[in-house]
């Protein structure tokens, strides 16, 4: 969550703290331009995050050097993570990813492990929603699950990529319904949403931002969000509903209490503790800027900030959660 440490500081001093160059609070600072490597293609969610971080750093003069964003989206982001491994000791490179940084090596031989890199921070989390098309026969997620148990062969579910978050959710929902779901992978969440709007699939798993335009346009309907509690965004998205009106999958009996993925930032391996701490503080300050908070709200992300042992524990628990699912599906690389 956002740090409350400036809550009792006068507003002017708090603003100065937010925008002060980090050289004032750390001995080590980068002496050459910082590369922000995005583990995804231009225009996607990971790219958007990288550019918001770059914009916040620039607008608030949080670094004395320039930043440049580079897209390395090959292999679902593996290209970027392998580059980070090869850049061992280079504290002038950051990589922006999701849980793909630590889950991809479980399903493919890629030449790196997540422990070859240095975790810096998780700066937000994406909620995932079960969507269907407007006018579908399912009034809510409970009805969808009940029909899935009887008619899974005719209820194709889509998502972004294969052996990724969306397909993992399809496996988990199939387990709950006692059915084998036919999963259709698309190149992106945006394509999956377009296919759903055209009624080519029965449902998809998508984060809020990648389906919001179709929801606003009356083409798709959110059945439930895979979260412990409803989202806190109360501003209307459609004429009658906000994100806060979307029920949780838990309350409708889908048996999956929560499924999110983190927006993560890593350094190469072999950097010093001081260098890692510098970037933790940099990203904490970025997360407090108006630009970043607007991005989080616009994308309906869960505001989260994790670093240090808390982040490592999150990663380890997330891996432990999915390894049995991957193994049962036959994805797990031996």
Final residue of a structural domain among 193, 224, 250: 250
* CATH for 211: 3.40.190.10
Same domain as 224, residue 139: yes
Find out whether 255 and 176 touch, Cβ atoms under 8 Å: yes
Domain count, the chain: 2
Q: Using alpha carbons only, what angle is made at residue 11 by residues 7 and 13, rounded to the nearest 5 degrees? A: 95
Q: How confident is the model at residue 26, as a pLDDT?
A: 53
Do the bridges between strand 203-206 and strand 129-133 make them parallel or antiparallel, or are there none, so unpaired? antiparallel
pLDDT in tens, the chain (334 residues): 333 333 343 433 344 344 444 444 458 999 999 999 999 888 888 999 999 999 999 999 999 999 999 999 888 899 999 999 999 999 999 999 999 999 999 999 999 999 999 999 999 999 999 999 999 999 999 999 999 999 999 999 999 888 888 999 999 999 999 999 999 999 888 899 999 999 999 999 999 988 999 999 999 999 999 999 999 999 999 999 999 999 999 999 999 999 999 999 999 999 999 999 999 999 999 999 999 999 999 999 999 999 999 999 999 999 999 999 999 999 998 7
CATH number at residue 94: 3.40.190.150
DSSP codes joined into one string, 96-111: EE-THHHHHHHHS--S
Handedness of CA 284, 288, 289, 291 (dihedral sign): positive
Q: From CA 66, how far away is CA 81, in angstroms rounded?
A: 22
Give yes or no: residues 50 and 112 share one domain.
yes
d(CA 114, CA 112): 7
Task: Give the separation between CA 139 and CA 227, rounded to whole angstroms.
Answer: 20
C-alpha 30/C-alpha 25 separation (Å) is 13
Q: Of the candidates 216, 250, 284, which is a domain's last residue?
A: 250
Q: Is residue 9 part of a domain?
A: no
In this prediction, residue 162 carries a pLDDT of 87
What confidence score (pLDDT) does residue 222 get?
A: 98
User: Are 193 and 86 contained in the same domain?
Assistant: no
What per-residue confidence (pLDDT) applies to 24?
41
Give the model's pLDDT for residue 262: 97
CA 183, CA 155: separation in Å to the nearest integer? 9
Whether 140 and 117 share a structural domain: no
**CA angle 127-37-29, nearest 5°?**
105
Instruction: Looking at the structure, tell me whether residues 243 and 152 fall in a common domain.
Output: yes
- Residue at 273 is within a domain: yes
Q: Tell me, yes or no, whether 108 and 129 share the same domain.
A: no
Verify that 215 and 310 share a domain, yes or no.
no
Paired strand residues for 6: none
Residue 2 lies in a domain: no
pTM here? 0.86
Residue 272 forms part of a structural domain: yes
Whether residues 130 and 244 share a domain: the answer is yes
pLDDT reported for residue 278:
98
Q: How many CB atoms lie within 10 A of CB 68?
A: 10
Q: How far apart are CA 193 and CA 217, in angstroms?
A: 12
Domain that holds residue 129: 125-250
């Amino acid at each position: 969550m956002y740090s409350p440490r400036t809550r009792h500081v006068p507003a002017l001093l708090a603003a100065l703290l937010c925008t002060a160059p980090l050289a004032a609070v750390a001995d080590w600072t980068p002496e050459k331009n910082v590369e922000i490597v995005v583990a995804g293609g231009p225009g996607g969610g990971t790219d958007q995050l990288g550019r918001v971080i770059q914009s916040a750093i620039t607008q608030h003069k949080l670094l004395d050097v320039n930043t440049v964003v580079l897209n390395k989206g090959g292999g679902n982001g593996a290209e970027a993570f392998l580059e980070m491994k090869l850049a061992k000791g280079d504290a002038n490179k950051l990589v922006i990813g999701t849980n793909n940084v630590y889950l991809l090596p479980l399903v493919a031989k890629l030449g790196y492990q997540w422990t070859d890199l240095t975790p810096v921070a998780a700066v937000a989390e994406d909620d995932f929603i079960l969507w269907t098309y407007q006018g579908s026969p399912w009034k809510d997620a409970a009805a969808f699950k009940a029909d899935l148990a009887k008619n899974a062969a005719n209820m194709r579910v889509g998502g972004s990529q294969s052996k990724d978050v969306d397909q993992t959710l399809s496996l988990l929902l199939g387990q709950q319904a006692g059915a084998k779901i036919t999963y259709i992978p698309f190149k992106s969440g945006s394509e999956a949403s377009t296919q759903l709007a055209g009624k080519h699939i029965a449902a998809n798993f998508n984060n809020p931002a990648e389906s919001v335009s179709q929801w606003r346009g009356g083409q798709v309907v959110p059945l439930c969000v895979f979260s412990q509690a409803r989202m806190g965004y109360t501003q209307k998205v459609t004429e009658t509903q906000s994100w806060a009106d979307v029920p949780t999958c838990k309350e409708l009996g889908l048996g999956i209490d929560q499924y999110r993925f983190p927006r993560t930032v890593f350094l190469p391996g072999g950097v010093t503790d001081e260098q890692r701490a510098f970037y933790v503080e940099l990203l904490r300050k970025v997360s407090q800027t108006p630009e970043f908070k607007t991005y989080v709200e616009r994308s309906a992300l869960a505001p989260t900030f994790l670093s240090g042992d808390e982040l490592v524990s999150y990663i380890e628990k997330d891996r432990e959660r999915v390894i049995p699912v991957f193994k049962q599906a036959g994805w797990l690389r031996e």
